[in-house]
Structure 1
């Protein structure tokens, strides 16, 4: 059985959090909320505990983990790199939903990094995540707390659905505020490179990192040979039900005729376009962060519907919706362009 600890998301009780921290110290696993999604955490220096994460999630061993820190002193334990080029990003986005990739120190196990000589690091802003790291007194390696390939968890119930009985502790602090995994920027190469879009948008990052490189594979073009950060290669974020993602609106009517009973996933502003069909409202285009926050809950809800497939309407790829579309491309069984 998994121990479930319920805490206030803003003012978590230290006595309760100490119980979870003791599990981390003893080599156990703890699912905990961050501002992005729930993470499945373990001591990043404990190889056995890290391997347990991969076993629980059924995660490919070459898919690197993100290490979560609560201070720059902990960052120093992990990286063998010049942090000067990262100072502007850290000042702007830490604590927050941005992961940075650096060259790693030898002490960081390769089990954490998928065999790479780099390590991905983030300083979360969620009070529960910060307290857990502080009380554990160690950086915590933590991918999303779901079975690999499934939609990421944005509340404790999602974690329970996927991992109950396998993880030692689940900290329940309600819904995560942002609902999408962190933005990942690789600083280990000559030019800063975006490897995963997230809540910190490309437009925001470019103001701080004008020479940011945004590779074609983030737009669904081409592929990488091996994952350099989480979420790069494998099919991710997918419900069990097949999804057809329609990017070309001129082909939408053909898809609708082919699947007359399929539910339609679309923004609130488009609901009237599908009169008589089952609609799953993603949120408002006029408030795009609502779509990001709802995305994984919506994808998980598709598995409760009686239907062979679901149709998802493509969104404009700008701002936070670029990050949403990145997830939808990876979740889709078929993309119609």
Structure 2
């Protein structure tokens, strides 16, 4: 369990916070400062045709597909909180704006794990295509409404920055807490050899050994799942499925962000399963025509946990700084009122 907690802290400090925190802040900031409305004028033709939504939603869709797993959910919640979209639209958007950003999929999964950046790019494109397909399906029953350009509310720039940062910090604390807890639980499963027992059971019913060893980590947490896929030399389409499914840990991260939207968790899970399958199919087709020049299917790569981490002290320091900032901003807000 201790090892799992340490791995969770390292993951938060070296991947989660650096790659997601700026986008978590930005997803709220573009709504509060009115930038989403400005970008909406250019994105409206696309969002209207594909998703039956107005343009301000387009900025959040774009950010959700490029920022990372919970960034889209954060942007959707910000739109709903600012009354720039209705509940039905927000629920529909939350079904497909879940996916790894290019920074994670292309560079962490592609370059670091598979030693091939183009493989990472193709995995991300497969995921993006699956998201668009599911978005069209999820939003098919929405009715387009013309936004009221006379009632656009914008916060002062300074207030928008401070509030967006505070929301981003609080969100990151919640995400980091979930990641550490899930890492602890998975560490217990490994220490008690339950993962090995499950792998043996799956092998006994004819499932390939590599997939059998990877399936529990894939279902549980996406980063661990992708690393395990690479180590066990599973087909690349199975890694694409892992990215599309995203892992139960990411599911809980999204639930914590979209609490006010009251989404159906069963429906959300089915959409994640569909996203995994669609991503896997697209990836399988692409890799019929593309053969990686590097050791993509090699299980002799160095240990990825070392590549993805620097120091425990640095990870803990980042999280403590987030807590201090959150407390200080909350204290100042109470004094103000």
Bin for the TM-score computed over the shorter chain: under 0.3
Larger RCO (CA within 8 A; separation ≥ 6):
2
> Which has the larger share of strand?
1
TM-score of the pair, normalised by structure 2: 0.27
> Which has the larger share of helix?
2
